[in-house]
Structure 1
């Protein structure tokens, strides 16, 4: 690993892998086709990647299917629900604006990718239009202008067996949330966190 000659540059990378498959290029379009939009409407989970002055961030977001609103072929809207107030994603957006999104649908091997530019709005009427089933209104809404969209095939899910019930991991075999938090901050009471988490039915604010 110390031999720097083994590190690839753009030219050697392309030489190693060869040309991109034609279908991998033709499926990318600068807007949401209706089938692409249908995938987003069916998705209850999206991973968001952003970059800004303070670095990189990759965060999960979840909600009922359709929680990311398809406004038109060039526009998506995502409510920012209550969380830990780190605002890593939002800070990156307001300083840089670039965003990448990966949408998952339970049981579906294909995933939908969207790249674009984002802004954050605290417009009262807009936020109120995203009130959840309990009437809770988000503090802000992320508005995404789509610059490219494309679908991924199911190879990653086939290899990982992510949706295969037989491959599911017993949560008890992994460190608890409290244990993991305490490993990062020794003064943290992980046991109390786990007790409180159990009392709340296992629900905690999104990161």
Structure 2
């Protein structure tokens, strides 16, 4: 074992000796108040974290701002929009209903973290509330909030996340088709990555909901 590996709380305390800032404690509440509700209403994107027998999962969720509804101070409603049908997050929730969310708002430095538990509902009336482009979500996640708190802007500022001048030219990175082609090259039947890339933009548009 490397001598520099941290393996105990005492060692961790040595590396991080400063006391917790008062604001870091004050900001955490067990519900969604008016301020945190305003952040959720403005957010078009969050990252969803779950845990299950097959391991951890962290997946992106996005739609128009307000797609996550604050039903009451302890309850969030989240439509499950169309995806790749791996449904890793949903399978995890069936065995471990704990959930973590990190909300981002374009142009806003702070992020919002919400932890709680979730159940999946196919209630027709509930799903109908989230109809979009004539399509209903397959189910709705009903989240019971246990903790909500904002995260300071340091990470977003360091990343210069909302600066359009530093956006990466997508042509400088491997495309989805290239990734699939190269991975499948080890299989018996190669994947047509060029055809995948060509069809992808229209397929995304046609299958958003």
TM range (shorter): over 0.9
Matches for 1:1-207 after TM superposition, within 5 Å = 3-18=2-17, 19-132=19-132, 134-186=133-185, 187-198=190-201, 200=202, 203=205
Q: How many angstroms apart in 2 are the aligned matches of 1:116 and 1:176? A: 35
SS of corresponding position for 1:57: strand
Preserved contact between residue 84 and residue 205 of structure 1 (Cα < 8 Å): no
Q: How many angstroms apart in 2 are the aligned matches of 1:204 and 1:16? A: 51
Q: Mean alpha-carbon deviation: is it higher for 166-175 or for 38-47?
A: 166-175
SS of corresponding position for 1:99: strand
CA RMSD of aligned residues (A): 1.6
TM-fit CA distance, 1:185 = 2.3
TM-fit CA distance, 1:202 = 5.7
Q: How many angstroms apart in 2 are the aligned matches of 1:21 and 1:92? A: 34
Where in structure 2 are there 5+ consecutive unaligned residues?
none
SS of corresponding position for 2:67: coil
Where in structure 1 are there 5+ consecutive unaligned residues?
none
201 and 81 in structure 1: CA distance in 2 versus 1, 3 angstrom threshold? closer
SS of corresponding position for 1:28: coil
TM-fit CA distance, 1:136 = 0.4
TM-fit CA distance, 1:3 = 1.4
Aligned residues: 203
Q: Deviations over 1:8-44 (max 9, x none)?
A: 3222112320232221111111011110110000000
